[in-house]
């Protein structure tokens, strides 16, 4: 076996007893298995650090997200998300079989699933921006068009976009999430954290982004210097502190999910630098996607 390299356990599925078969020449484990494909079948699935209720929330997966399942045991599955490679544990009840591929993505912050093509009926569930669904038909009722998902489920058709259709500007997507509650590990329009806001909005715009702040600070776009007075910033630039990130909506304004306001909010960058610097220091890098 080759020398073991320092792999990030957040992005590679390996433990001493079990590992992804694709890592067979890289890590040591008692057993290696091929990941079995499945999809998330609930609106939002918590991806936990350990297979236990109350374990730390690392991130979240959305309805329709594809995962590879390496183990099912004691009510939990050990999985890796296909879209960003994040590894963790989800409740078995959150998984569905790998069905036919989705056709559409939720393109608004939140939308309802109805038990029929009628907005007056009680909603069955709600989905977040970025969730993916398979539309099997279009139905119009009283002037409103609904996408039929099968199994008696319907969504407002205008809340969906074809899967291949990407938003033109990830910042505009992030701006639709203004006032979304802050949630550590959150990655949906029901609750989100700083790096989740970056990832979800960029994903909707067809731009790949890893999940955690340190990953994003090392991989998104290119680093640059905005100058000592920060005058070189523009819309779409990312400002990173240690453990935090925000999105510039213009040369002076930062949009970020933060624990200070406990929601996604706008703030003058210089105010944020002063406030955050008091406890956590100055920005550590700037990146331009």
Domain residue spans in the chain? 18-97, 104-162, 170-288
Structure confidence at residue 5 as a pLDDT band (50, 70, 90): low
As a whole number, mean pLDDT of residues 124-143 equals 97
What pLDDT is stored for residue 141 in this prediction? 97
CA distance 176 to 180: 9
CATH number of the domain located at residue range(s) 104-162 in this protein? 2.30.30
Q: What is the mean pLDDT of residues 92-99?
A: 88
Q: Do domains 104-162 and 170-288 have the same CATH topology?
A: no
1, pLDDT greater than 90: no
- For residues 106 and 127, the answer to whether their CB atoms sit within 8 Å is yes
User: Superfamily assignment of 18-97 in CATH?
Assistant: SH3 Domains (2.30.30.40)
pLDDT of 21 over the 90 cut: yes
pTM exceeding 0.85: yes
* Phi/psi-derived region of residue 161, left when phi > 0, alpha when psi is between -120 and 50, beta in every other case: beta
259: left (phi over 0), alpha (psi -120 to 50) or beta: alpha
CA-to-CA dists, residue 62 to 30, 94, 142, 188, 251, angstroms: 32, 10, 31, 7, 32
State in words which class domain 170-288 has: alpha beta
Q: Minimal CA–CA distance to 238: which of 193, 189, 206, 199?
A: 199
**Three-state DSSP class for 9?**
coil
How many other CB atoms are found less than 10 A from the CB of residue 235?
A: 13
The lowest-confidence range among 96-100, 129-133, 187-191, 248-252 is 96-100
Tell me the CA distances in angstroms from 101 to 98, 132, 143, one per residue in order.
8, 9, 29
Nearest residue to 162 via CA among 196, 207, 110, 206: 206
Residue 204: strand, helix, or coil = helix
Q: Of 94, 129, 136, which is closest to residue 111 (Cα–Cα)? A: 129
Tell me the mean pLDDT in the region 237-264.
98
Q: Could you give the CA distance from residue 91 to residue 209 in angstroms, rounded to a whole number? A: 25
Burial class (CB in 10 A: 0-12, 13-18, 19+), 268: exposed
- pLDDT given at position 40: 97
pLDDT digits (tens, 9 = 90+) for 188-214: 999 999 999 999 999 999 999 999 999
Angle at 170 between CA 167 and CA 175, to 5 degrees: 110
Residue 197, H or E segment? helix 194-204
């Amino acid at each position: 076996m080759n020398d073991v390299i320092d792999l990030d356990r957040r992005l590679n599925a390996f433990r001493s007893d079990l590992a992804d078969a694709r890592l067979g020449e890289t890590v040591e484990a008692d057993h290696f298995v091929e990941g079995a494909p499945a999809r998330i079948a609930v609106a939002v699935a918590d991806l936990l650090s350990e297979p236990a209720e109350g374990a730390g929330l690392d991130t979240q997966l959305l309805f329709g997200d594809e995962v590879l399942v390496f183990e099912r045991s004691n009510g939990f599955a050990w999985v890796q998300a296909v879209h960003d490679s994040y590894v963790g544990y989800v409740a078995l009840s959150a998984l569905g079989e790998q069905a036919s591929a989705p056709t559409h993505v939720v393109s608004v912050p939140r939308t309802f699933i109805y038990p029929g093509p009628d907005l007056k009926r009680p909603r069955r569930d709600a989905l977040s921006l970025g969730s993916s669904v398979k539309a099997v038909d279009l139905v119009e009722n009283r002037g409103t068009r609904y996408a039929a998902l099968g199994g008696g489920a319907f969504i407002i058709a205008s809340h969906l976009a074809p899967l291949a259709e990407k938003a033109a500007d990830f910042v505009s997507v992030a701006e639709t999430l203004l006032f979304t509650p802050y949630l550590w590990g959150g990655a949906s329009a029901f609750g989100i954290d700083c790096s989740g806001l970056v990832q979800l909005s960029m994903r909707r715009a067809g731009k790949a982004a890893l999940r955690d702040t340190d990953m994003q600070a090392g991989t998104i776009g290119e680093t640059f210097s905005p100058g000592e007075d920060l005058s070189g910033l523009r819309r779409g630039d990312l400002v990173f502190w240690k453990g935090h990130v925000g999105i510039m909506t213009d040369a002076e304004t930062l949009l970020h999910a933060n624990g200070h306001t406990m929601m996604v909010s706008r703030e003058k960058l210089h105010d944020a630098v002063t406030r955050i610097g008091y406890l956590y220091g100055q920005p550590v890098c700037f990146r331009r996607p």
